[in-house]
Structure 1
Amino acid sequence: MTLHAGAPMPDSLRHFMRAKAHPARSVPCPHCGAAAHKPCRLRTTGRLLTEPHPQRISEWAQTTACCPECQVTPEVPCHDEGRALTTVHARRYQEAEATAA
Structure 2
Amino acid sequence: MTIRPNAPMPIELRHFMRAGQHPARSVACPHCGAAAHRPCRVPANGQTLKKPHPQRKSAWAELTAVCPHCQVAPGTPCHTDGIPLPDLVHARRYLEAEETAA
Aligned to 1:90: 91
Name the stretch that deviates more: 85-94 or 12-21: 12-21
List gaps (5 residues or longer) in structure 2.
none
Q: Which has the higher strand share?
A: 1
Amino acid at match of 2:10: P
Aligned to 2:19: 19
Deviation at 1:31, TM superposition (A): 0.2
Aligned to 1:53: 53
CA distance in 2, matches of 1:94, 1:22: 14
List gaps (5 residues or longer) in structure 1.
1-5
Aligned to 2:71: 71
Aligned to 1:10: 10
Moved over 4 A (4+): none
The aligned length equals 96
Deviation at 1:13, TM superposition (A): 1.2
CA distance in 1, matches of 2:75, 2:65: 8
Deviation at 1:65, TM superposition (A): 0.2
Deviation at 1:7, TM superposition (A): 5.6
Deviation at 1:10, TM superposition (A): 2.8
Aligned to 2:100: 99
CA distance in 2, matches of 1:70, 1:40: 29
1:24-64 deviation digits (Å, cap 9, x = unpaired): 00000000000000000000010000000000000000000
What percent of counterpart residues are identical?
65
